[in-house]
Structure 1
């Protein structure tokens, strides 16, 4: 027993003799791991390491051209400074780094970069997910540096006052700060896209001299006098239809019922949404900072001269988002601006142009059909909503022939030629852009006036009806009966002007309008 105790005692002595050595070795290993981890972190935080996985062909070049490299201070801002939370918040910084790093490596190993829609990923809706706002503020701690413009002071004061209340993001106004985009600008537009300047010299001999006369109830091509712009109007026969949807229709919502029988007079409707060519003609003819607002003109003069109509002030940036003008639908204007366009068009042509009522819009969109769409198909088969969509892709063939929506839009508006017309000959009634109606939005509108009504219009509500879904919509939201409304305050969230613009929205892209013309026998 004594020998065994002696042996154990000896072992303990030897252990404690080695303990300092083990402790030192442990410290060395720990220090080595820490240094190695730090070195790895530094290495994988370099711009070069980011480019190992991010093989976007323009990402490096666009960064080199951006203000984060080319600026008066000579400071270069690197990838991790923008795309990760500040290092002052150690846990948040490194957890985000690990999460994004693993995701990037997995994508690099399992996906083909040629399949990525890089243009889509550069849009604000995507970019805002990868630019922590606190990272912007970590570098730009002084929002009023020497040399800032008066517009900049106004915008940054608005940001300071409303950052938390409205959840404002720096990148909403500075999308091109980190990656240069020639199609993006933050500042008042100084020229009409496609023209040299607002006052560019044009050949007036090409202008239409007279509007198209209406001699019968049939399709016609309207010509806007004093411009080179024309567009097709479709004769929509009057009739009676069932407006709304029943609970049996997939994705039915409460504001689409009860179904009621609506009778409408005949009218003309534009073949497709008002285009940029049409809207820029209106803009060039009416733009002014100080003309009398149209409601005051009409209140005091029943037949005002067309030149008295005040048009939009210049917007911030390019409202076409750099997607192109021409026949693409004009977007981002307010309901007020759309109505003013109709007033201007009426005076230019001598006809009565206006926005469609909600009933006229749905009647025209259905094209004589009572199904969810004017073409065959079940909304459940087309929609991405539902549990099974995690395993099976939605059908796209038939709906993509008629509708510009989330699955085929490439996250931007498209020209009318991309889709087929409905039975009435109208294009893009469903999708592409939401369209303003003349009605105020009331979720209970269909409960008013009885089961049978003629030429209804709702005049009570705080917002306006918009119809048709847009290029970001799911198939469920582009049904003929689907209803929505403006969100005026939310759509002006990042507009720093006081008062805010009455002409242009700052926070909605997929909104436009289509005109109707009343038939005067």
Structure 2
């Protein structure tokens, strides 16, 4: 199952300049709704009838994600941010070199992905035609990876900080976000319930620059730690 597409090359060594922490879960609807109620987030996302609370927030654009981390930072007095691409892949791998933290073969019991490679938008989704599990599941679903992170593969994509680049030529070697390139678009990582298992691999990356909201877009927060 292991595969490397042109945008995942060349392989390069990364030495993280500073330690960081990452949330065990994607941001939930409960957390997002708190941001909206406090007027820190301007977008009120629909849950499509799947519920709120511990469901991962969906339909989130990169700019929305940046609003959330800014609000969380103001509220807590600690500086939160999005992960960089390198950080997101590092925590997905959890010390392994395989396609998924559990191995190179996708296991449906470990993550929520679609059997085929289909795109579902908020406008096109028909709840009555979806198969079982063809929807985002609560953030505690499935076992965590060895580092205690849930749904690091599948369910919903995480926005990362980086601008889009076609490959890794010239990528930062210190684990920081790559803030040059096509900054009209940013990177999504992790795969989703409506996308194939191939797109949930640790190395897989997806560019998105359209203002259209897709139901698999979400956010996971990080924080730089003191050395």
TM range (shorter): 0.7 to 0.9
How far is 1:458 from its partner? 1.3
Out of 416, 421, 433, the residue aligned to residue 144 of structure 2 is: 421
Higher relative CO (Cα under 8 Å, sequence separation at least 6) belongs to: 2
Residue 57 (structure 2) pairs with residue 330 (structure 1): yes
Match of 2:94 among 367, 382, 385: 367
Report the equivalent of 2:82: 355
Does the Cα contact within 8 Å between 1:430 and 1:468 map onto a contact in 2?
Answer: yes
Under a length normalisation based on structure 1, what TM-score does the superposition of the two structures give?
Answer: 0.39
Give 3-state SS (helix, strand or coil) of 1:283's partner.
helix
State the 4+ residue runs in structure 1 displaced beyond 3 angstroms.
none
CA distance in 1 between partners of 2:3 and 2:96 (Å): 18
In structure 1, how many angstroms separate the alpha carbons of the residues matched to 2:13 and 2:190? Answer: 20
Q: Which runs of 5+ in 2 are unaligned?
A: 116-130
Q: CA deviation at 1:377?
A: 3.4
- The answer to whether structure 1 residue 343 and structure 2 residue 70 are counterparts is yes
Root-mean-square deviation over aligned CA pairs: 1.8
Q: 1:482 aligns with which of 199, 204, 220?
A: 204
Match of 2:108 in 1: 400
Task: Please give the alpha-carbon distance, in whole angstroms, between the structure 2 residues aligned to 1:334 and 1:418.
Answer: 24
Cα distance, 1:280–1:480 mapped onto 2, change above 3 Å: same
Per the alignment, in what secondary structure is the counterpart of residue 52 of structure 2? coil
Could you tell me how far 1:333 is from its partner in structure 2?
1.8
| 2:19 aligned residue (262, 266, 291) | 266
| Closer, same or farther: CA 357–313 of 1 in aligned 2, 3 Å | closer
C-alpha separation in 2, matches of 1:425 and 1:339:
24
- What does residue range 230-249 of structure 1 map to in structure 2 within 5 Å? none
Asked if structure 2 preserves the Cα contact closer than 8 Å seen for 1:409 and 1:472, the reply is no
Q: What is the correspondence of 1:109-508 to structure 2 with a 5 Å cutoff?
A: 250-264=2-16, 265-286=18-39, 310-314=40-44, 319-378=46-105, 382=106, 399-407=107-115, 410-444=133-167, 446-449=168-171, 453-459=173-179, 460-461=181-182, 462-489=184-211, 491=212, 505=213, 508=214
Q: Contact 1:333–1:512 (CA<8 Å) still a contact in 2?
A: yes
| CA spacing shift, 1:405–1:421, aligned 2, 3 Å | same
Cα shift at 1:251: 3.6
2:43–2:64 Cα contact (<8 Å) kept? no
Contact 1:436/1:465, CA 8 A, preserved across alignment: yes
SS in 1 for 2:73: helix
Return the TM-score normalized by structure 2: 0.86
Cα distance in 1 between the residues matched to 2:222 and 2:110: 21
Q: 2:152, 2:43 → 1: CA distance?
A: 29
**Structure label with greater radius of gyration:** 1
CA distance in 1, matches of 2:162, 2:11: 18
| Structure that is richer in helix per residue | 1
- Tell me the distance in 2 between the aligned counterparts of 1:354 and 1:340: 10
State the aligned residue count: 209
Deviations 1:445-472 (A, max 9, x none): x11058xx21232112121000011001
